[in-house]
A and B are shown apart, each in its own frame.
Chain A
Amino acid sequence: MSNFKTQIRDWILAKNPKVDGAVLTDDAPLLEKKILTSIQIMDLILYLEHLQGRPVDIDQVQPENFHSLNTIHAAFFAAAG
């Protein structure tokens, strides 16, 4: 499993202590399953910027990019592996 994906997973679990880690699979729909709330997306974007080491251009980001850990990884870290 990629390092970035693990870090994002850990971040989500740290911010949402009530979420059972077993529910948070790579494909789990984050907002639908209330693993992540939409209000946390802005905070998450700043964390993604921190991991990437460069700013995220919100105009290039689609809501679907935040569907699951897999889609986040594909949208922001595809090149990094």
Chain B
Amino acid sequence: MERLAKIARKLSDASIKRYNSPYEEFQWPENLSLDDWHFSPELISIYGLEEFDALNDAQRKKLAFWETVNFFGINIHGEKALIGGLAEHLYYMDWSPELSEYLHHFLDEENKHMTVFGTFCHRYGKKVYADKKMSFPRKYEKGEADFLFFAKVVIFEELVDHYNLAMGKDERLHPLARQINQYHHNDESRHLAFGRELTKKLFEQWSPTWKPETVAGVQSYLANYMVSTWREYYNPAVYADAGIDNGYALYQKAWDAPVCRAHREAVSRSCIDYFLENRMMTEAPAL
């Protein structure tokens, strides 16, 4: 764990330097105006479809607002699971003290992110869209559950970060939405550096001890997990809240549309390459 311990130490130092309170960082206006953009139009889930083209500017901005509530909700649900798993890995087995030190920061930062996303959703959307991810309990080989947990974190955070990075720089966005995306990206870049390193290390350490079926199982599981993660970006309830008729049909259409699939593939490319290069996937998932 030497290389990893060194990285963890560096990241802890960076986290301490950047230590902040979201209660001081953010000013929350009483109301948000739907005359502003809160989500980049090109990142809206139905962008590129004729249904999107048919919307006028006000309708697009309204849809963008609900896409923001959905995106922040995806973060909330993902981070909730993340915090639970991070806590389990504090002072874990023979892992070096540097890892626990960094996991304290990781966990602290995720908790802060959740308060920011939660405040936005509750204050302006008056709700958090429900989580739709179910997990089915099963037995694991040694090291398998640890590996899968951190690999899933990488997938979840890679996709989110693509959106954060783009929207943190998008001058069209209302300053609050831009600031939240920027704030999140600043911490995520460290989480991803750590997550990529640890995930790879766990796979190298444990996969040689697994049965071939187990290795094949985790490879296909991760591909499936990426598909499920993407599903959450298409939410019929968002379309309904934006005043679009038959949100369910639109959800199905968007998921199957080549233009949307191309978007998912482009956003996921570097993440998929990472998994392929390290043999944690054998083929790119059918997104």
Q: A58-B132, A63-B134, A63-B136 are in contact. Are A37 and B224 (CB under 8 A)?
A: yes
Q: A50-B248, A55-B237 are in contact. Are A45 and B224 (CB under 8 A)?
A: no
* B130 partner, pick from A47, A50, A55, beta carbons under 8 A: A55
* A39 partner, pick from B131, B224, B232, B237, beta carbons under 8 A: B224
* B136 partner, pick from A38, A43, A46, A47, beta carbons under 8 A: A38
Within 8 A of B (CB), among A54-74: 55-59, 61, 63, 66
Docked complex Cα distance between A45 and B133 (Å): 9
Q: A38-B224, A46-B236 are in contact. Are A58 and B251 (CB under 8 A)?
A: no
Asked if B137 CB lies within 8 Å of chain A CBs, one says yes
Size of the A side of the interface (Cβ < 8 Å), in residues, is: 20
- Per-residue CB contact flags for chain A residues 17-50 toward chain B (1 = under 8 Å, else 0) read 0000000000000010000011101110111011
Asked if B231 CB lies within 8 Å of chain A CBs, one says yes
List residues of chain B with CB within 8 A of the CB of A45: 132, 134
Give the distance to chain B from A40, nearest Cβ to Cβ, in Å: 9
Give the distance to chain A from B192, nearest Cβ to Cβ, in Å: 24
- Per-residue CB contact flags for chain B residues 227-248 toward chain A (1 = under 8 Å, else 0) read 1100110001100000000001
List residues of chain A with CB within 8 A of the CB of B251: 46
Using CB atoms, name the residue of chain B closest to A39. Answer: B224
Question: Could you tell me the dominant secondary structure of chain A's interface residues?
Answer: helix
B236 touches A42 (CB 8 A): no
Most buried by A among B134, B227, B228, B232: B134
Using CB atoms, name the residue of chain A closest to B226. Answer: A39
A41 touches B248 (CB 8 A): no
Docked complex Cα distance between A66 and B134 (Å): 10
A41 touches B231 (CB 8 A): no
* A50 partner, pick from B133, B228, B236, beta carbons under 8 A: B236
Using CB atoms, name the residue of chain B closest to A58. Answer: B131
A42 touches B228 (CB 8 A): yes
A42 touches B133 (CB 8 A): yes
Using CB atoms, name the residue of chain B closest to A63. Answer: B136
Within 8 A of A (CB), among B113-154: 130-137
Give the distance to chain A from B213, nearest Cβ to Cβ, in Å: 15
* A61 partner, pick from B134, B237, B248, beta carbons under 8 A: B134
List residues of chain B with CB within 8 A of the CB of A37: 224
A39 touches B228 (CB 8 A): yes
12 contacts between A and B (CB under 8 A): A37-B224, A39-B224, A39-B228, A41-B134, A42-B133, A42-B231, A46-B132, A50-B236, A61-B134, A63-B135, A63-B136, A66-B134
Closest 9 A/B residue pairs (Cβ): A39-B224, A50-B248, A63-B136, A42-B132, A42-B231, A58-B131, A45-B132, A41-B134, A38-B136
| Interface residue ranges, B against A (CB under 8 Å) | 130-137, 224, 227-228, 231-232, 236-237, 248, 251
